[in-house]
Structure 1
Amino acid sequence: MANYRIHFAKEILGVPFTVGSVEIAKARDPGRALRAAEIRFARQHRLSDWRERADTVDIAASEGAAQG
């Protein structure tokens, strides 16, 4: 299992501005990490859906990610 960092951004005039990021430890794959991050981001900001605050997401394996 690997660690992932997901960045949430709002695009203004085509330029993405990061509005938050979430670290997910030990996800089976990037898809599961993304779904977990979307839920966590929405809860942190007391939103029903993460898209109320951000337009795009960027997912990357974190440094020191576990080798599976």
Structure 2
Amino acid sequence: MSQYRVMFAKQILGVPFTVGTVEITRARDPERAVRAATLRFARQHGVEDWRERADVAEVDGAARAL
């Protein structure tokens, strides 16, 4: 199990602006960390889907658009 930081960004004219960060303390791999972070991010912002607030979820410097 590893620790991950997932950053959420909104892209405006191709430039990402960070709108939030979620720390995942235990995940088997980066994909599971992103899944857990997207759920937590949506819950924190009171929305059904995290994409209502962000365009990109990035983990450890590798962009993962979901």
**TM-score scaled to structure 1, two decimals?**
0.86
SS in 2 for 1:34: helix
Find the structure with the greater CA-based Rg. 1
Q: Give the gaps of 5 or more residues in structure 2.
A: 62-66
Question: Relative contact order: is structure 1 or structure 2 higher (C-alpha 8 Å, sep ≥ 6)?
Answer: 1
The CA distance in 1 between the partners of 2:39 and 2:58, in whole Å, is: 15
Q: CA RMSD in A?
A: 1.1
TM-score by length of 2: 0.89
Give the 4+ runs in structure 1 shifted more than 4 A.
Answer: none
- Tell me the equivalent position of 1:43: 43
Distance (whole Å) between structure 2 residues aligned to residue 16 and residue 24 of structure 1: 21
Q: Which residue of 1 aligns with 2:64?
A: none
Q: Percent identity?
A: 66
Which ranges of structure 1 fall in alignment gaps of 5 or more residues? 62-68
